[in-house]
Structure 1
Amino acid sequence: MRRGGNRRDIPLYSPSVSFRGGIRVKIAMLQGKETREKVFRPEHLARLREFGDVTLNEESGNPTEERARSLMAGADVAITSWGCGPLTEKVLENAPNLKLVLHAAGTVKPIVTDALWRRGIRVSNATEALGKGVAETALGFTIVSLKDMWRLSRGTREGGWGPVSGVREVYGLTIGVVGGGRAGSHYVKLMRQFDVRILLYDPFVDENRAREMGAEKAELEELLRASDVVSIHVPSLPETYRMFDEARLAMMKDDCVLINTARGSVIDEAALAAELGKGRLFACLDVTDPEPPPPDHPFRRLPNVILTPHIAGAVNNGLARIAHAVIQDLTAFIEGRPLNGEVREEQMHVLA
């Protein structure tokens, strides 16, 4: 049951709650100056100003509750991002006409409060924009690892030239995708460009939806036993904590490539280090638990591990994709169309 029985009875996509007829909206950007400048280029701010008046946070660092309250005064739309705190009742009472929060980042959990839902304020995030970058990174890991480029490059630098017996093409293999959300579904889309079989494990995706995506729905154990590559795209939840434990890692095929661009907590790292120590698997880990791993962690010295510092999402020029997603959802809201990144209260328990 939805919390907040006094929530306004507003249809999800009703044009009556958008701003038509040339009415200008007031937009408050809460993120600190450094974060804003990383995500929003001058052309993005110019586009936002076409919709109405834009209030910028010109202070450094993350906004305090008092600062957020001040910036939000009279706002119709708020834009948040990394470093923004919860939109509490105290903050929201200064913006009685607020109807939309656009989160220029991934998870909305740092900013969402019960007060938002009670007031009927809609929330959208940029998870899809981030997910595309994550999926593209996973694709890169897939190709380079199957081609055995890491080992061949190291050997070539040391004066060698081959052998190439470990090289595999992205052809005729089975690719296992764990998690069919924004990143996982885009990874499936990318892998459909190759002649491979794609298995998908996601308890929230049925067989018809998996087929539409271009994958076969499978149970996790079935996927692990059959796949030549396993790419993880699940959120960090109590249900996913160390779901890749000793028993499941042991199910994986010899020479399987395990890719984790999701969260480090989904893997039992001690169990993975032990399995990798046998030389049976190859792992590409963009995330660990904690980050960074300790200097003496086995992942830093095992030859069959590629360790990258959480770069799968947007970190540089790709951040502009987030700004573009925010502008797209603002446009959709004003035109009374569905929001691509909308998050609803009932989804919060299954979101990262």
Structure 2
Amino acid sequence: MYGSGHAGNMEGVWRDRSLKVCYRMNDGGGESVERKIALLMDRDNLESLFDSLHRQRLNRLGNVVTVTEPGALTPQKSAELIRGAEIVVTSWGCPPLDAAILEQAPDLGLIVHAAGTVKRIVTPDVIARDIPVSSANSELGRRVAETALGLTIVSLKHIWQLARDSREGEFGRNRHRVKEMYGITVGVIGAGQSGKHYLELLRHFRVRALVYDPGQTEEQIRELGAVKTSLEDLMRESDVVSVHAPAIQATNNMINAPLLKMMKDDAILINTARGSLIDEEALVAELSAGRLWACLDVTNPEPTALDHPFRSLPNVTLIPHVAGVVTNGLRSLGEFTVNELEAFAEGRRLQGTVQLEKLHMLA
């Protein structure tokens, strides 16, 4: 997939670990100490992720500490911010949470990552301390899926070619090549967060969905409205192939020359995952033959060289890694984060819990 206890003299009952941050023990009956929430991110990310309403909600949850000066967030600054914190919110640019940082927060009860993959910030020290981790990866996956659906529709419609023809005075020249989201087969490689959301969006159309994901059962795939199949059959039968698998060692160049040759003529390949999943040299060869259309939000490396064929081939739509959250969409990560913190404080189930034992299989 790529997918009670109690104590005396306290303000409330600790129903489970998640409520540890909701109620603080009194020392001799005095005032309770407000929980500390450390936001480990630079000023740019703070301002991009959290609007004024988000910040008001955060402040109701505890004493929120953030960086006050511009610039990158260093390990030293992270250690200062996290000191005594019970909740930590991380995002892009946060250094790995190693022992030197974590030892400053012995009562840390939750890490919420206001971004996607947690691989950069989750260290063996986090796992050893059994600290729950939540990620906003589902929000990013939702945005990625929306982009993939958009690319699916406009590519089937041949919008790119029709727009070019119209500019060049050839109005409607390729109109006969247009396909609708009806009666076609869409192959989805990877049914993790973005792949799952993409499949949910496909339910609105009368299409056949195939899925390749060794980490999902046939029943799990069926519940998503699709059919589990082999990668080879998916490549052979699909009019559109959308890549959503994680970038791990097992998926490096998984879409290789033999698989690309299996694709139907005029099929569409969409990659909103990572460039490393596709053998790009083999893809260039197929594209140069004019058989396929590719929509690439990601490449390996990024950006491509100025003279790379992806920039000049007429059957490539190349966009600059924008399938996830950008501009106003970043606020959805802030909203997700605040929702998770409120759920944690109230003892409700978290939506973004990361199964750390499966970290090696996750994006």
Q: How many residues align?
A: 340
In structure 1, what is the Cα distance between the partners aligned to 2:293 and 2:15?
Answer: 50
Aligned to 2:230: 219
Secondary structure (helix, strand or coil) at the match of 1:98 reads coil
Aligned to 1:51: 61
Runs of 4+ in 1 over 3 A off after TM superposition: 19-24
Aligned to 1:295: 306
1:350 and 2:361 matched? yes
Deviations 1:176-232 (A, max 9, x none): 000000000000000110000000110111111111111111111011100000000
In structure 1, what is the Cα distance between the partners aligned to 2:105 and 2:242?
Answer: 43
The equivalences for 1:193-204 within 5 A come to 193-204=204-215
Secondary structure (helix, strand or coil) at the match of 2:90 reads strand
Conserved 8 A contact 1:133-1:314 = yes
Conserved 8 A contact 1:28-1:79 = yes
Structure 1 residue runs of 5 or longer lacking an equivalent are 1-12
In structure 1, what is the Cα distance between the partners aligned to 2:122 and 2:71?
Answer: 20
Secondary structure (helix, strand or coil) at the match of 1:287 reads coil
Aligned to 2:16: 15
Deviations 1:231-258 (A, max 9, x none): 0001111100000110010011111110
Aligned to 1:29: 39
In structure 2, what is the Cα distance between the partners aligned to 1:319 and 1:251?
Answer: 38
Q: Which amino acid aligns with 1:15?
A: D
Secondary structure (helix, strand or coil) at the match of 1:165 reads helix
Measured after TM superposition, the shift of residue 338 of structure 1 is 2.3
1:268 and 2:279 matched? yes
Conserved 8 A contact 1:15-1:335 = no
Measured after TM superposition, the shift of residue 20 of structure 1 is 3.5
Conserved 8 A contact 1:15-1:334 = no
Structure 2 residue runs of 5 or longer lacking an equivalent are 1-13, 25-31
In structure 1, what is the Cα distance between the partners aligned to 2:341 and 2:295?
Answer: 36
Deviations 1:153-187 (A, max 9, x none): 01101112112111001100000000000000000
Task: Work out which of the residue numbers 182, 207, 210 in structure 1 matches 2:218.
Answer: 207
Aligned to 2:99: 89
Conserved 8 A contact 1:170-1:194 = yes
Secondary structure (helix, strand or coil) at the match of 1:196 reads strand
TM-score by length of 2: 0.91
Secondary structure (helix, strand or coil) at the match of 2:171 reads coil
Aligned to 2:169: 159
Measured after TM superposition, the shift of residue 14 of structure 1 is 6.3
Task: Work out which of the residue numbers 281, 290, 311 in structure 2 matches 1:279.
Answer: 290
Higher mean displacement: 299-308 or 334-343: 334-343
Task: Work out which of the residue numbers 245, 255, 263 in structure 2 matches 1:252.
Answer: 263
Conserved 8 A contact 1:124-1:339 = yes
Q: Which amino acid aligns with 1:179?
A: G
Larger Rg over CA atoms: 2
Conserved 8 A contact 1:258-1:282 = yes
In structure 1, what is the Cα distance between the partners aligned to 2:85 and 2:169?
Answer: 63
Residue identity (%): 51
In structure 1, what is the Cα distance between the partners aligned to 2:298 and 2:170?
Answer: 31
Measured after TM superposition, the shift of residue 16 of structure 1 is 3.7
RMSD after superposition: 1.4
Aligned to 1:336: 347
Aligned to 2:249: 238
Q: Which amino acid aligns with 1:338?
A: R
